[in-house]
């Protein structure tokens, strides 16, 4: 494959000749804006664009917006470009104001729309702006490249839309308040990449570990989380959304040494594990209906009920049919099957349990492992 550059973004052409647009991270935006502002401090004018070498060893040409130089300060902005990646920050502006200070070294300040860390366990210490280590290093390198290493510099990063954007992220549950995080490990956003999303999920495990929790509850999404919090008293940072990455989050939970891992969610999602689907997105994992029908038949459910179940287009419909016939207890054994599938996947001594909720957040079934965990609450 070859890479070609197009001003402030570049394209990747695969051997299939499909074209995908790469983008760049909020960290690259902040570093580029910092570099432009540094030129403003040094020369009294800010250029229209700067070149930025990213950790991926790719040089970006970034256009600088809202350029302003004043007495002892300079500021400008870079507009975020996410390429073909579905990134909520695409198009937002990352503003950086660089100002000489009376101290030594570089001090990072959270402007409007940039979050502040309020919990331990993340890459950035509690009380600091939510500017991750690699972007901090990139900003520092940009400033030192232009201004050298002597004297003190205050760097204020602002994202005008940040507070609203943050509502669409996991920041609140991670203890990052009042804005988004400035992130990125390579400086580059890969098109349609799931990597950054998986990394954001890991932050939840890191926070739970730092809080000293011995167990975590992994849920695919809102149904599992709301159901769990409705019925059980657990710390908010103990319940972690895993999206479709069940296998990935199980592995990472085991690596972190959690004593127990509880899987909670709708049977339409969790039952897929019995088939060996530990990435449960519908693009790669078929609906769970057939799995459940086979399990119902194996349990010798009345044939007339099975026929009724086969007519249901959704797993939620199957749950309602089994409730109508007073046969919801079978979901306890299905929860046991899910639990055993998870045990086989991780091959670990970590305790695993399963709980299933319907769409109304009612408990449908629980596994033996979950019942053991529940007694310890």
Q: pLDDT above 90 covers what percent of the chain?
A: 74
Average pLDDT, the chain: 90
Render the burial of 331-359: b for 16+ CB within 10 Å, e for the rest: bbebbbbbbbbbbebbeeebbbbbbbbbe
The residue among 165, 189, 213 that closes a domain is 189
Whether residue 16 is predicted with pLDDT greater than 60 in this model: the reply is: no
pTM value is: 0.70
State whether 238 and 348 are in the same domain. yes
Angle formed by the axes of helices 289-298 and 315-324, nearest 10° = 30
Domain that holds residue 347: 195-375
Place of tokens 């804006």: 33
Six-digit token string for 351: 């305790």
Question: Which of the four pLDDT bands, split at 50, 70 and 90, describes residue 189?
Answer: confident
What does the pLDDT read at residue 335?
98
The residue among 163, 189, 215 that closes a domain is 189
3-class secondary structure for the chain?
CEEEEECCEEEEECCCCCEEECEECHHHHHHHHHHHHHHHHHHCCCCCEEEEECCCCCEEEEECEEEEEECCEEEEEEECCCCCCCCCCCCCEEEEEEEEECCCEEEEEECCEECEECCCCCCCCCCCECECHHHHHHHHHHHHHHHCCCCEEEEEEECCCHHHHHCCCCHHHHCEECEECECCCCCEECCCCCHHHHHHHHHHHHHHHHCCCCEEEEECCHHHHHHHHHHCCCCHHHEEECCCCHHHHHHHHHHCCCCEEEEEECHHHHHHHHHCCCCCCCCCCCCCHHHHHHHHHHCCCCHHHHHHHHCCCCHHHHHHHHHHCCCCCHHHHHHHHHHHHHHHHHCCCCEEEEEEECCCCCEEEECHHHHHHHHCC
State whether 235 and 143 are in the same domain. no
State whether 324 and 239 are in the same domain. yes
State whether 157 and 81 are in the same domain. yes
What does the pLDDT read at residue 149?
86
Whether residue 13 is predicted with pLDDT greater than 50 in this model: the reply is: no
pLDDT in tens, 76-132: 999 999 887 778 899 999 999 999 998 889 999 999 999 999 988 888 999 999 999
State whether 228 and 97 are in the same domain. no
State whether 21 and 106 are in the same domain. yes
State whether 208 and 328 are in the same domain. yes
Query: Which residues does 247 contact at the CB level (< 8 Å), separation at least 6?
Result: 278, 279, 345
State whether 10 and 60 are in the same domain. yes
What does the pLDDT read at residue 9?
39
What does the pLDDT read at residue 71?
94
Query: Which residues does 77 contact at the CB level (< 8 Å), separation at least 6?
Result: 33, 64, 65, 66, 93, 94, 95, 96
Question: In total, how many domains does the chain have?
Answer: 2
209 phi/psi in degrees, rounded to 5: -65, -45
More confident residue, 116 or 191: 116
pLDDT in tens, 49-64: 999 999 989 999 999 9
State whether 267 and 354 are in the same domain. yes
What does the pLDDT read at residue 14?
30
State whether 44 and 26 are in the same domain. yes
Q: What is d(CA 320, CA 276) in angstroms, rounded to the nearest whole number?
A: 25
Residue 166, domain CATH: 3.30.2110.10
State whether 179 and 237 are in the same domain. no
What does the pLDDT read at residue 77?
98
The residue among 142, 173, 189 that closes a domain is 189
State whether 124 and 181 are in the same domain. yes
pLDDT in tens, 248-302: 999 999 999 999 999 999 999 999 999 999 999 887 899 999 999 999 999 999 9
């Amino acid at each position: 494959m070859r890479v070609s550059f197009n001003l402030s973004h570049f394209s990747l052409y695969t051997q299939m000749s499909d074209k995908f647009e790469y983008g760049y991270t909020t960290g690259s935006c902040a570093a580029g804006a910092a570099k432009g502002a540094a030129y403003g401090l040094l020369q009294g004018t800010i250029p229209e664009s700067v070149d930025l070498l990213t950790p991926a060893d790719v040089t970006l040409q970034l256009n600088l917006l809202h350029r302003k130089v004043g007495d002892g300060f300079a500021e400008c902005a870079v507009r975020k470009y996410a390429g073909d990646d579905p990134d909520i920050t695409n198009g937002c502006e990352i503003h950086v104001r660089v100002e000489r200070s009376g101290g030594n070294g570089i001090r990072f300040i959270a402007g409007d729309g940039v979050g502040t860390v309020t919990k331990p366990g993340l890459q950035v210490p509690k009380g600091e702006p939510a500017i991750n280590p690699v972007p901090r290093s990139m900003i520092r390198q940009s400033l030192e490249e232009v201004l050298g290493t002597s004297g003190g510099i205050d760097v204020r990063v602002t994202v005008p839309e940040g507070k609203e954007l943050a509502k669409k992220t996991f920041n609140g549950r991670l203890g990052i308040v009042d804005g988004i995080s400035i992130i990125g490990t390579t400086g580059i956003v890969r098109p349609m990449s799931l990597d950054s999303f998986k990394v954001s999920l890991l932050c939840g495990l890191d926070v739970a570990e730092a809080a000293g929790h011995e167990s975590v509850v992994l849920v695919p999404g809102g149904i599992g989380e709301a159901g769990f919090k409705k019925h059980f008293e657990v710390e908010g940072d103990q319940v972690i959304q895993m999206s479709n990455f069940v296998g990935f989050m199980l592995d990472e939970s085991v690596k972190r040494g959690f004593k127990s891992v509880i899987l909670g969610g709708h049977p339409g999602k969790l039952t897929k594990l019995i088939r060996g689907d530990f990435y449960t997105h519908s693009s790669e994992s078929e609906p769970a209906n057939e799995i459940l029908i086979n399990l119902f038949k194996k349990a010798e459910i009345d044939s007339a009920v099975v026929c009724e179940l086969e007519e249901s287009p959704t797993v939620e419909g199957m749950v309602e049919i089994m409730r109508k016939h007073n046969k919801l207890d079978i979901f306890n054994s299905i929860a046991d099957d899910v639990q055993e599938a998870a045990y086989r996947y991780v091959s670990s001594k970590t305790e695993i349990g399963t709980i299933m909720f319907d769409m109304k957040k009612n408990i449908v079934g629980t596994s033996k492992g979950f019942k053991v965990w529940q007694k310890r609450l």
